[in-house]
Amino acid sequence: MPAPITDEQNRLDREALLDAAERLFYERGIQAVGMDEVRAASGLSLKRIYRLFAAKEDLVVAVLKRRDQRWRGSLAAHVEQVPDPGERVLAVFDWLAEWFAESRFRGCAWINAYGELGPSSEAVLAEVRSHKQAFHDRIAVWVHATGLPVVEPVFLLAEGAIVTAGISGDPAPARHARAAVATLLGTPCDS
């Protein structure tokens, strides 16, 4: 009889599985990646994978939840080091430009997941909406600190830049959106 799996082993297996699934799903698409590929990339058996996540949909939701925490944490760490409220809002677009320039950038993982599964998966749709609401709420906090009523335009410019960069493969939409936001904020574009 095999030894029981410890909490630490569960954690390690779960992280290895999430790492492999996130990389594959983001690079190639959720529907294009079979569970045998996830198994091979994670080094876990299918039996073990399905003990951790009963269905592929559950794995997708877990990948999106974990990515959301990391993504928003990185954004906040970058933006919140900027003391001036207006410059802080512009820093959102500086961070987006850095993300868009990464060689592995494939657009927004949540929009990609919605495009593939959102209409047919309530769980994925809920996670996508949760991420987008949290991103909106974070931007709202930063914009409200400027005293200007421009939350919605700033959020839409950020979202539009993400989608456009994902489709075009060009980081320039972050720069263009930043310039538009600078105009909304009444600050010089070159700041």
**What average pLDDT does the segment 169-179 reach?**
97
**Sheet strands (E) in 42-160:** none
pLDDT in tens, 10-44: 899 999 999 999 999 999 999 999 999 999 999 99
**What average pLDDT does the segment 51-64 reach?**
97
When pLDDT is cut at 50, 70 and 90, the band that residue 9 belongs to is confident
Say if residue 43 is in the same domain as residue 80: no
Is 77 part of a structural domain of the chain? Answer: yes
Report the candidate in 182, 184, 128, 136 with the shortest Cα–Cα distance to residue 158.
136
Residues contacting residue 42 through CB under 8 Å, at least 6 positions apart: 16, 17, 19, 20, 21, 49
* Predicted model pTM: 0.92
36 residue type, one letter:
D
d(CA 162, CA 164): 6
Say if residue 67 is in the same domain as residue 89: yes
Q: Tell me the pLDDT of the chain averaged across its residues.
A: 95
Query: Considering Cα of 41, then 47, then 48, then 51, what sign does the dihedral take?
Result: positive
**What average pLDDT does the segment 116-139 reach?**
96
DSSP 173: H
Say if residue 43 is in the same domain as residue 101: no
Say if residue 24 is in the same domain as residue 94: no
d(CA 135, CA 148): 18
When pLDDT is cut at 50, 70 and 90, the band that residue 191 belongs to is very low
Contact at 8 Å (CB) between 152 and 90? no
Contact at 8 Å (CB) between 73 and 80? no
Say if residue 22 is in the same domain as residue 97: no
Say if residue 150 is in the same domain as residue 93: yes
Say if residue 82 is in the same domain as residue 170: yes
Contact at 8 Å (CB) between 103 and 46? no
Say if residue 85 is in the same domain as residue 35: no
Q: Which domain holds residue 11?
A: 1-54
Asked whether the predicted pLDDT for residue 140 surpasses 90, the reply is: yes
Is 142 part of a structural domain of the chain? Answer: yes
Could you please report the per-residue DSSP string of 39-67?
HHHHT--HHHHHHH-SSHHHHHHHHHHHH
